[in-house]
Amino acid sequence: MAQYINFLEDFNYQLKHILGAYNRANMLFRRPDHNNSLGDNDQVVALPDEVFARTISMVTLDKAIRLRQQVNQLLIEEWASKYHLSVKDNGVWYKGTALVVTGDKNDYRALLEIYHDTLTAGHLGIAKML
């Protein structure tokens, strides 16, 4: 894992658990004459706290947007035919695959911070944009 930390920084990745029966990378598939790399990962932080903090804030924001949809139900019903919205998942409104946001400027600002202003998006400011 230590070899791929710099490589993984360039991607927006998701962590998924793979059951041991389906995970083929185990000791039975390793050759005994290869270096076992003991100590290679000492003092290495593979997944920084920011990854988990961003995930938590995304889940919290998603729940808040869904609650605001319930509060603003009349507004969404007005938008439904005009913008071709569809209702899925127990009354949650979408425009295609995107969740409909009916909240205030704080919701829009939080969405921009999560999806637009991250380092992986390449938006580091007007002078440093990639």
Alpha helix ranges (H) inside the chain: 5-8, 49-71, 73-83, 105-115
Over residues 26-32, the mean pLDDT reads: 62
Query: Is pLDDT at 89 greater than 80 in this prediction?
Result: no
Under the banding of pLDDT at 50, 70 and 90, the label for residue 103 is confident
Say what the pTM is: 0.52
For 68-94, give one letter per residue: b (16+ CB within 10 A) or e. Answer: bbeebeeebeebeeeeebeeeeeeebe
Give the pLDDT score at 84.
92
